[in-house]
């Protein structure tokens, strides 16, 4: 029964990643803790491995289709990999119940941001020769859509990347719910490229956080992780297919409601532990 649940829960995580380019991690931790009885800190490590591994299956085909902006993604990911070990280290000093409550509060923020973004769809991608639109993003692009990497743009991407890595290491999330809007707002990236690049960044940041958890001496269940990944690969495929049929705002609103409900469930459960 545990194997079936692990595969099913992994499919949920993969489905969320394939559907939105992020957010799978916000489901992984509560599913592991409350659905499979995994200790919170161990769940963080399994979540990082499962989210990162599942993201690989979504990033590779997009990489072959040239949808990933490698330069922007690498800058974002490298800075995120610096923040992930710090988050993993800090999580060791936070009691399990407190960690879950903080995680739930973060989920409420995610739900609010996703809902607001659905109500107010992103504006057109800014270019260097369109001053009015370019003011809406911190980075500009040339006429071919390539990022003009100024020092101001680089600093912002690095800072947001570090913050994303910190969240990843502490809460076991890939950070896609932060990465996608950050890439769109700060780098002026088109939404489809942002989703593809987000999966690429998630792979690298999750790898950093997962490695840090292993070296920190936290418990880790390899068998459960493999079962989770099997479901994740299937869910990623289904989520990607469905994403092509539904409109973005509709997907974001559904996702926001689901995250808010999970947050309420986590708070209720953690206060009763």
Once rounded to an integer, what is the mean pLDDT over residues 215-222? 81
The least confident of 5-19, 124-138, 201-215, 218-232 is: 124-138
Select, from the ranges 162-166, 215-219, 267-271, the one with the highest average predicted confidence (pLDDT): 162-166
Distance between CA atoms of 252 and 158, rounded to whole angstroms?
Answer: 26
Q: Where in the chain are the domains?
A: 2-272
Indicate the average pLDDT of the chain. 80
253, 71 in Cβ contact below 8 A?
no
Q: Is 66 left (phi over 0), alpha (psi -120 to 50) or beta?
A: left
pLDDT band at 272 (very low <50, low <70, confident <90, very high): low
Distance between CA atoms of 141 and 149, rounded to whole angstroms?
Answer: 9
Once rounded to an integer, what is the mean pLDDT over residues 15-21? 83
Q: What is residue 228's predicted lDDT score, i.e. its pLDDT?
A: 94
The least confident of 129-143, 156-170, 182-196 is: 129-143
pLDDT band at 175 (very low <50, low <70, confident <90, very high): low
The least confident of 26-30, 135-139, 243-247, 252-256 is: 135-139
Q: Could you tell me which residue, 9 or 204, shows the higher pLDDT?
A: 9
26: tokens are 């916000």
- Give the alpha-carbon dihedral of 128, 134, 137, 143, to 10 degrees: -30
Q: Could you tell me which residue, 29 or 252, shows the higher pLDDT?
A: 29
91, 41 in Cβ contact below 8 A?
yes
| C-alpha closest to that of 58 among 243, 252, 224 | 243
Count of CB atoms situated within 10 Å of the CB of 250 = 10
Q: Where are the beta strands (DSSP E) in the chain?
A: 140-141, 147-148
pTM equals 0.73
Q: Could you tell me which residue, 265 or 241, shows the higher pLDDT?
A: 241
Residue 223 has pLDDT above 60, yes or no: yes
Distance between CA atoms of 18 and 23, rounded to whole angstroms?
Answer: 10
88, 213 in Cβ contact below 8 A?
yes
Q: What is residue 93's predicted lDDT score, i.e. its pLDDT?
A: 83
Q: What is residue 128's predicted lDDT score, i.e. its pLDDT?
A: 47
Residue 219 has pLDDT above 70, yes or no: yes
Q: Is 233 left (phi over 0), alpha (psi -120 to 50) or beta?
A: alpha
Q: DSSP string of 233-267? A: HHHHHHHHHHHTTS-HHHHHHHHHHHHHHHHHHHH
């Amino acid at each position: 029964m545990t194997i079936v649940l692990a595969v099913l829960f992994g499919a949920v995580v993969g489905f969320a990643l394939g559907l939105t380019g992020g957010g799978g991690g916000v489901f992984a931790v509560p599913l592991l803790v409350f659905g499979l009885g995994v200790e919170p800190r161990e769940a963080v490590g399994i979540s990082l491995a499962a989210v990162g591994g599942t993201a690989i299956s979504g990033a590779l085909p997009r990489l072959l289709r040239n949808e990933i902006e490698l330069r922007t993604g690498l800058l974002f990911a490298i800075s995120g990999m610096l923040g992930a070990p710090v988050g993993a280290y800090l999580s060791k000093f936070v009691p399990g119940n407190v960690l879950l409550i903080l995680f739930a509060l973060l989920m409420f923020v995610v739900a609010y941001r996703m809902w607001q973004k659905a109500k107010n769809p992103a504006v057109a991608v800014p270019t260097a020769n369109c001053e009015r639109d370019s003011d809406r993003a911190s980075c500009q692009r040339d006429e071919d859509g390539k990022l003009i990497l100024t020092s101001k743009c680089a600093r912002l991407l690095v800072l947001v990347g570090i913050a994303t890595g910190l969240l990843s290491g502490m809460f076991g999330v890939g950070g896609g719910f932060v990465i996608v809007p950050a890439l769109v707002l700060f780098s002026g990236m088109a939404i489809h490229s942002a989703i593809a690049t987000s999966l690429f960044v998630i792979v690298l940041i999750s790898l950093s956080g997962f490695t840090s958890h292993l070296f920190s001496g936290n418990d880790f269940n390899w068998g459960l992780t493999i079962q989770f990944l099997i479901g994740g690969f299937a869910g990623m495929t289904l989520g990607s297919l469905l994403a092509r049929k539904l409109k973005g705002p509709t997907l974001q609103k559904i996702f926001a409601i689901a995250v808010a409900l999970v947050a309420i469930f986590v708070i209720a459960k953690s206060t009763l532990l």
